[in-house]
Structures are given as structure tokens and as C-alpha cells.
């Protein structure tokens, strides 16, 4: 992220209206390798290739704020691997972390990993440290500390169905697991900030909280996300949940998040009412059916439709309702920028 793009984000957070409308996209291994014509495994394991692909993207789309920008991630394996989960690495499919525990009582034998030494966390740090001079030489800086959220990581350790069922059947063990994961996430975010003084933002991604009802969200999501949001004194706190997001939106300010990337099933007006006027909305074009599979005119039409319902466009970053989908073509991203006035 360039200094100018970072300043733009801060001004959007302050409530300043910008024309053209800011455009931002969350991009990682589901989109970047395919767009660049390389395999996912090569992208994740070849440091130079990783850098070149990210540099190519930010150079090709100078009007897009890529979030977080030069993301040194290993898919959904990044954080679960620290808990000793077996990682599966297909050549050209998304990496996957296998379960660590199979019974609720096994939660009690887990211990908090050391993010400085365990799993893939040291690989993330080393990649950024080695590439930082090249990143900065091209006018970009490492701005974000990143992590998947507590419910997201917990479901990879225990199983998605088992974790969600356990909210009702074994709440004590689920709370213990979520607290353990949350403490790890706090360590992980703080360690990233220690390693890179330019960090002044966090990105937390957790779709699984979208499966919780209001009462369960208050018990099993709110306190842990609040602890995470408040663990770093950074100015930008971006939360991503592209599942059902209205319950999350109503709690963002109390938890401490001020940017929200949400699912396309919620319109901008509906989400503005739920999140309130002080949260920056990051959305809301359908990522698969429009941005990836539609035509450029479909993209422009979708942007017009989305913006018509939101006359006040302060604290808005035009984006898709979730991460950038595999197969999203360059011409559709160009159309998104054109529709924003670039």
C-alpha cells in the first residue's frame, strides 16, 4: 500500500468524501496465482514469485487499494498450522489444514502456540522481512497485521460442524478453545507489529461468526473479537465476514472495528443502518457472479445499483462483498474502477 493510498483510507475513516470513490479489494491466493498464470503451490512456496505477482497486481491496478497488500499468507493453513495441524498442499488448489482434535474434551490438552517459532508464522515474518526492502523500493509499505479470527481458526482445529454444534452441547469446551485461540491471535498480531513499525492497521477474517444467532454471537464471538480489536493501538481495524453480517455489523463499534467487509447479500443501505454512520463499509458488488463471471457492463450496472440506495457516500470503499474470487478478469476490475469515477 502506497503512502497516498494509506492517507486516502485515513481520510475515508475521518468521513471525508472523495471523488473518485475509493476502490479496495481483498486479494490473496484464491485470485492472485490464477490471474498471474502460475500455480497456487508455486505462488505460496516461491518467495520471489510471490513478490513479483503482488508487484504485478499493484502496478496493473494503481487505482485499487489492495487489502492488506503484499499479503504473506499461506491460505487457511497460516494460523491453524501453529497448533500442529497437518497441512495439505495441492498443486493448484487451496491449501487445507486438517483437524487437530476429535473430541470436545481434547480441548483441555491444547496449549497456546508460540507465534515466533511455531507453524507457518515464522515463515510469514521472514518472507516479509526479506521482501520489505523491495516492497518499500516500489513505494509500498507493510501497513496491516493480519489473522483469521477465533471462530474461523477453532473450526479448523475441531471441525466446522463440531464447533458450531458445541456452542449448544459443550459451551465450556468451546469457550476454552476460543479463549486459547484468541490469546494466540493477540500474540500473533502484536508480534507482527513489533517486527514492522509501519503497521498501523489490522485485518481480521472470520466468516464463521455469521452462522451464530444474536445470543450466541454475544457469548461466543463478541468478547473474543473485542479482545482482538483492542490489542493493538492501530488506526484502521478491518473486519471481514462475508457470511450473514447484520448481527456482526450491529456490534462493530462496541468491539472496536471501524472498517467492515461484508457479504453481497446485504445492500449498502441495509448495512449502513446496521453498522451506523461511523463504520467504513467495504463493499458491495457480488464477487463471483458479477465481478468474476459477469461482463464489464454487468460490473458497471451493479455499481450503479448499489450506489443508488446510498446517497451519502462518506465512509465507503467500493469493493466486492468478500474476497476477490478466483477467475476475476482484469477488465472487470477496470470496470469497477471506471464505475467509481477513476
Domain with residue 312: its CATH number is 3.20.20.210
Give me the DSSP letters along 147-196. Answer: EE-HHHHHHHHH-HHHHHHHHHH-HHHHHHHHHHHHHHHHHHHHHHHHH-
Q: For residue 272, how many C-alpha atoms fall within 13 Å in the half-sphere facing its CB?
A: 17
Determine the angle formed by the axes of helices 160-169 and 150-158, rounding to 10 degrees: 100
Report the distance separating Cα 121 and Cα 323, nearest Å: 22
Q: Which residues of the chain have pLDDT under 50?
A: none
The rounded Cα 319 to chain-centroid distance in angstroms is 13
Angle at 215 between CA 210 and CA 218, to 5 degrees: 75
CB–CB of 34/326 below 8 Å?
yes
From residue 300, alpha-carbon distances to 26, 152, 218 in Å are: 19, 33, 38
What backbone phi and psi angles, to 5 degrees, belong to 238? -100, 125
Cα–Cα separations (whole angstroms), residue 61 to 111, 144, 189, 333, 338: 43, 20, 28, 8, 12
- pTM of the model as a whole: 0.97
Counted domains in the chain: 1
- The vertex-185 CA angle with 181 and 190, nearest 5°, equals 155
**Three-state DSSP state, 38:** coil
Greatest Cα-to-Cα distance within the chain, rounded to the nearest angstrom: 55
Q: What is the predicted pLDDT for the residue at 85?
A: 82
**Cα gap 86→305, rounded to integer Å:** 44
- Report the first-to-last Cα separation within the chain, whole angstroms: 18
Residue for grid cell 497488500: 69
* Cα 74 from Cα 94, distance rounded (Å): 9
Residues 159, 153: Cα–Cα separation, whole Å: 10
In the block, residue with C-alpha cell 522481512 = 129
- Are 155 and 131 spatial neighbours (Cβ–Cβ below 8 Å)? no
Q: Structural domain of residue 55, as residue ranges?
A: 3-339
Q: From the centroid of its chain, how far is CA 291?
A: 18
How many angstroms separate the CA atoms of 179 and 209, rounded?
15
Nearest to 224 by CA among 177, 261, 189, 263: 177
Helices and strands: H and E segment counts in the chain = 14, 10
**Residue 48, C-beta contacts closer than 8 angstroms, at least 6 positions apart:** none
Amino acid at each position: 500500500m502506497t503512502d497516498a493510498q494509506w492517507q486516502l483510507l485515513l481520510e475515508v475513516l475521518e468521513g471525508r468524501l472523495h471523488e473518485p470513490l475509493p476502490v479496495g479489494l481483498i486479494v490473496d491466493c484464491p485470485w492472485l496465482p490464477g490471474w498471474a498464470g502460475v500455480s497456487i503451490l508455486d505462488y505460496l512456496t516461491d518467495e520471489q514469485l510471490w513478490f513479483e505477482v503482488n508487484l504485478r497486481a499493484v502496478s496493473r491496478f494503481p487505482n485499487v487499494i489492495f487489502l492488506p497488500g503484499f499479503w504473506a499468507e499461506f491460505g487457511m493453513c497460516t494460523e491453524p498450522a501453529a497448533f500442529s495441524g497437518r497441512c495439505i498442499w495441492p498443486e493448484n488448489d487451496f491449501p487445507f489444514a486438517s483437524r487437530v482434535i476429535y473430541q470436545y474434551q481434547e480441548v483441555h490438552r491444547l496449549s497456546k502456540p508460540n507465534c515466533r517459532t511455531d507453524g507457518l508464522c515464522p515463515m510469514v515474518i521472514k518472507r516479509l522481512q526479506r521482501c520489505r526492502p523491495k516492497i518499500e523500493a516500489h513505494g509500498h509499505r507493510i501497513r496491516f497485521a493480519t489473522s483469521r479470527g477465533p471462530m474461523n481458526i477453532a473450526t479448523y482445529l475441531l471441525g466446522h460442524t463440531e464447533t458450531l454444534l458445541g456452542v449448544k452441547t459443550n459451551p465450556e469446551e468451546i469457550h476454552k478453545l476460543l479463549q486459547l485461540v484468541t490469546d494466540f491471535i493477540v500474540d500473533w498480531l502484536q508480534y507482527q507489529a513489533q517486527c514492522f513499525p509501519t503497521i498501523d492497521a489490522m485485518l481480521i477474517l472470520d466468516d464463521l461468526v455469521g452462522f451464530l444467532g444474536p445470543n450466541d454471537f454475544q457469548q461466543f464471538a463478541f468478547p473474543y473479537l473485542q479482545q482482538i480489536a483492542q490489542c493493538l493501538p492501530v488506526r484502521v481495524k478491518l473486519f471481514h465476514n462475508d457470511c450473514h453480517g447484520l448481527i456482526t455489523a450491529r456490534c462493530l463499534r462496541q468491539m472496536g472495528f471501524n472498517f467492515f467487509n461484508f457479504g453481497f447479500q446485504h445492500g449498502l443501505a441495509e448495512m449502513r443502518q446496521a453498522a451506523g454512520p461511523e463504520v467504513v463499509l467495504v463493499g458491495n458488488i457480488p464477487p463471483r457472479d458479477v465481478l468474476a463471471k459477469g461482463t464489464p457492463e454487468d460490473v458497471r450496472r451493479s455499481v450503479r445499483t448499489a450506489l443508488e440506495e446510498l446517497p451519502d457516500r462518506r465512509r465507503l470503499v467500493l469493493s466486492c462483498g468478500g474476497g476477490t474470487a478466483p477467475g476475476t478478469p482484469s477488465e472487470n476490475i477496470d470496470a469497477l474502477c471506471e464505475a467509481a469515477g477513476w
